[in-house]
Every structure is written in structure tokens, then in C-alpha cells.
Amino acid sequence: MNTTLTSPSPDEIRDTLKKHKLTREQASSLLHVSLRTMHNWLAPVGTVNYRAMPLAAWELLLIKLGEKEVDKWIQ
């Protein structure tokens, strides 16, 4: 069963990192993004530095942390 993913809020990202005991540095390395990018995804919504985390990055993080299975399109 596939569940529809939505872009996470900074709080959702922060909670996920905390749950898995990951630092921002570790998470940015895991996703192959800069630390600055991770800071921007975690900035409060509405602030000048805030950037929404792309859905693909969120899904990749969840897959790498074992919270989501890979959707298989080819048998």
C-alpha cells in the first residue's frame, strides 16, 4: 500500500532527525547536500532563510532511515 507523501515541515524534519539521533551534519551527508541547505530546510517557515525540503529529498531520507519502503515500478 502506497501512502501519499507531502513536503515536511521543519518540525517534522527536526523530529525525524532527533528520533534517529542524527545531527544536521550527518543528515546533510546522508542526503548529499550542503549543511547550509539542511539549515535552510530547518529554518522557521516565513523567515528569509527558509526553503521547503523537496519531496524527493524527504522520501530519500525516509528510505535511508528505514521509515519508508522503496516503491518498485518494475517487476
pLDDT digits (tens, 9 = 90+) for 21-30: 999 999 999 9
What global pTM score does this model have?
0.87
5-25 residue pLDDT tens? 899 999 999 999 999 999 999
Which residue stretches of 1-75 are H helix? 10-19, 24-31, 35-42, 55-64
C-alpha grid cell, residue 51: 526553503
